[in-house]
């Protein structure tokens, strides 16, 4: 039996849950095949959401309480397990642990914080949440214009609060990973770090090759993801569909996912009397949707490195997205080659771009081949090796 390289543990809240957990599964399996012993600490272990036909080269350890970030009981459980199993490195996947210093001091392990979104994204979340509340009543509108707007845009309160949090995260970590070079530059600038001597490392999310690649696509437009307002804004996609569905009488829009906004979105669809639109809910096997669809749409206000874009590319589904972050731009650029980038948040421009792509069979066919090739840049062999190098660096 080969000697174990290192014992490491990823830390999640719900596992599996979303994109970060999917990447952990792939990286954990890769590391396991390269003689690492891998564990996953989970606040809640959702076995029924594990992807089908994917091996488990790791051990999941469910913590006693759900509150991974703030629970002292969970921190003690991690400390005991780290000592018992001689875990050398823990990797928090976007979780801001209240007791990081206590865990490191008690165990002597190294600590990596893996950021799976845009640096300082919480600032945008705070602003969007306040902006949404302004529509509730006349009083909330006045609160927005007289209090929230000046607080966020004049006095930068949200940014200062978020920046202080990132300073703490950076100081606690032995390494801090981001998803692309532009995010690294943002972090260096935002935290006033030395450009050449810092703890920030760039490791993109990995992507799986399509198991059963299908190039004979149906006339389907796809959305896959969480149905939430502040970030995903799927209501914009319904606005787009309202503008063009009558010109695409052979096409249908399929929305895969669930969340707080689902009932609002279904009501919006009924209000607009939209045709050929399906809300199919959550699925832990999205491969059948990618296999059939021709186009994927993303209309988010902010994103880090949206896995739906690279998943679409790997399956020959051409993505159309608002150019809302450096991560989205890196995945899809140049536009009309590896995907279609639309100026944020221009609904008319998005509708025009989607209509043009759906009605130009030659362009769609050419881009279908391009996006499959593009997805190979994020193979687990490339990304996994970067994780091995980082872990060996510690």
- Give yes or no: residues 58 and 180 share one domain: yes
Can you tell me the distance from the alpha carbon of 56 to that of 29, in angstroms, rounded to the nearest whole number?
7
Can you tell me the distance from the alpha carbon of 356 to that of 170, in angstroms, rounded to the nearest whole number?
45
Residue 362 confidence (pLDDT): 96
Residue 152 confidence (pLDDT): 45
348 belongs to a structural domain = yes
Can you tell me the distance from the alpha carbon of 234 to that of 227, in angstroms, rounded to the nearest whole number?
7
The dihedral through the CA atoms of 69, 70, 74, 80 has a sign that is positive
Model confidence at 211, in pLDDT bands (50, 70, 90)?
confident
Q: How does DSSP classify residue 249?
A: T
> Collapsing DSSP states into helix, strand and coil, what is residue 221?
strand
- Give yes or no: residues 47 and 109 share one domain: yes
Helix, strand, coil shares of the chain, percent, nearest 5, are 45, 15, 35
Which DSSP string do the residues of 33-100 spell out, in sequence order? HTT-EEEEEEEEE-GGGSPTT----SEEEE-SSS-TTT-HHHHHHHHHHHHHHT--EEEEES---TTH
- Give yes or no: residues 152 and 94 share one domain: no
Residue 16 confidence (pLDDT): 86
- Give yes or no: residues 133 and 96 share one domain: no
> Collapsing DSSP states into helix, strand and coil, what is residue 102?
helix
Specify the pTM. 0.85
Residue 120 confidence (pLDDT): 86
Residue 1 confidence (pLDDT): 45
2 belongs to a structural domain = no
- Give yes or no: residues 247 and 235 share one domain: yes
Residues β-bridged to residue 221 = 253, 295
Asked if pLDDT for residue 391 goes beyond 80, the answer is yes
285 belongs to a structural domain = yes
Contact status, residue 128 vs residue 301, Cβ threshold 8 Å: yes
The Cβ of residue 45 has, within 10 Å, a number of other Cβ atoms equal to 18
**For residue 19, how far is the Cα from the chain centroid?**
5
pLDDT tens-digit series, residues 294-352: 999 999 998 989 999 999 999 999 999 999 999 999 999 999 999 999 999 999 999 99
- Give yes or no: residues 201 and 236 share one domain: no
pLDDT tens-digit series, residues 379-389: 999 999 999 99
- Give yes or no: residues 383 and 283 share one domain: no
**What are the distances in angstroms from CA 205 to CA 3, 22, 63, 179, 327?**
28, 10, 26, 7, 10
Asked if pLDDT for residue 144 goes beyond 50, the answer is no
- To the nearest 10°, report the CA torsion of 124, 125, 130, 132: 100
**What are the distances in angstroms from CA 80 to CA 14, 73, 83?**
21, 11, 5
What's the number of domains the chain is made of?
A: 3
231 belongs to a structural domain = yes
167 belongs to a structural domain = no
- Give yes or no: residues 199 and 224 share one domain: no
108 belongs to a structural domain = yes
Asked if pLDDT for residue 12 goes beyond 90, the answer is yes
104 belongs to a structural domain = yes
- Give yes or no: residues 226 and 128 share one domain: no
pLDDT tens-digit series, residues 153-181: 444 566 788 889 999 999 999 999 999 99
165 belongs to a structural domain = no
Residue 174 confidence (pLDDT): 97
Asked if pLDDT for residue 214 goes beyond 70, the answer is yes
Residues β-bridged to residue 389 = none
Helix (H) or strand (E) holding 257: none
- Give yes or no: residues 224 and 360 share one domain: yes
> The CATH number of the domain where 264 resides is what?
3.40.50.2000
Can you tell me the distance from the alpha carbon of 160 to that of 147, in angstroms, rounded to the nearest whole number?
16
Asked if pLDDT for residue 20 goes beyond 90, the answer is no
Residue 143 confidence (pLDDT): 53
Residue 41, token pair as written in the block: 């600490």
Model confidence at 101, in pLDDT bands (50, 70, 90)?
very high
Range of the structural domain that residue 293 is part of: 220-377
- Give yes or no: residues 244 and 317 share one domain: yes
> Collapsing DSSP states into helix, strand and coil, what is residue 123?
helix
Residue 279 confidence (pLDDT): 98
- Give yes or no: residues 149 and 26 share one domain: no
> Collapsing DSSP states into helix, strand and coil, what is residue 254?
strand
């Amino acid at each position: 039996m080969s000697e174990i390289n290192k014992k490491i543990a990823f830390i999640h809240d719900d596992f599996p849950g979303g994109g970060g957990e999917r990447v952990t599964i792939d990286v954990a399996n890769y590391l396991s095949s390269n003689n690492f012993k891998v564990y996953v600490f989970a606040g809640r272990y959702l076995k029924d959401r594990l992807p089908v036909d994917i091996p488990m080269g790791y051990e999941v350890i469910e913590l006693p309480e759900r509150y991974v970030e703030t629970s002292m009981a969970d921190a003690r459980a991690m400390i005991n397990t780290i000592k018992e199993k001689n875990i050398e490195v823990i990797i928090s996947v976007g979780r801001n642990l209240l007791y990081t210093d206590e865990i490191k001091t008690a165990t002597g392990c190294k600590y990596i914080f893996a950021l799976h979104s845009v640096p300082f994204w919480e600032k945008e979340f705070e602003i969007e949440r306040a902006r949404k509340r302004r529509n509730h009543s006349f009083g909330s509108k006045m609160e927005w214009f007289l209090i929230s707007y000046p607080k966020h845009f004049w006095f930068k309160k949200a940014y200062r609060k978020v920046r202080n949090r990132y300073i703490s995260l950076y100081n606690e970590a032995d390494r801090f990973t981001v998803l692309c070079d532009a995010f690294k530059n943002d972090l260096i600038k935002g935290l006033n770090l030395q450009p050449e001597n810092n703890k920030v490392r760039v490791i993109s999310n990995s992507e799986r090759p399509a198991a059963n690649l299908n190039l004979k696509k149906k006339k389907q437009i796809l959305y896959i993801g969480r149905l939430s307002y502040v970030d995903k804004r799927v209501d914009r996609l319904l606005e787009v569909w309202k503008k063009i569905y009558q010109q695409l009488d052979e096409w249908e829009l399929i929305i895969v996912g669930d969340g707080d906004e689902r009932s609002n979105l279904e009501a919006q669809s009924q209000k607009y009397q939209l045709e050929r639109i399906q809300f199919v809910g959550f699925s832990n096997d999205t491969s059948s949707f990618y296999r059939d669809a021709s186009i994927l749409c993303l209309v988010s206000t902010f994103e880090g490195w949206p896995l739906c874009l690279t998943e679409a590319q790997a399956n020959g589904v051409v993505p159309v997205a608002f150019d809302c972050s450096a991560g989205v731009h890196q995945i899809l650029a140049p536009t009309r080659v590896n995907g279609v980038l639309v100026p944020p948040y221009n609904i008319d421009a998005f509708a025009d771009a989607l209509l043009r792509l759906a009605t130009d069979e030659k362009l769609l066919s050419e881009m279908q081949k391009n996006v499959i090739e593009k997805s190979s840049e994020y193979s687990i062999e490339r990304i996994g090796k970067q994780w091995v190098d980082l872990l060996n660096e510690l």
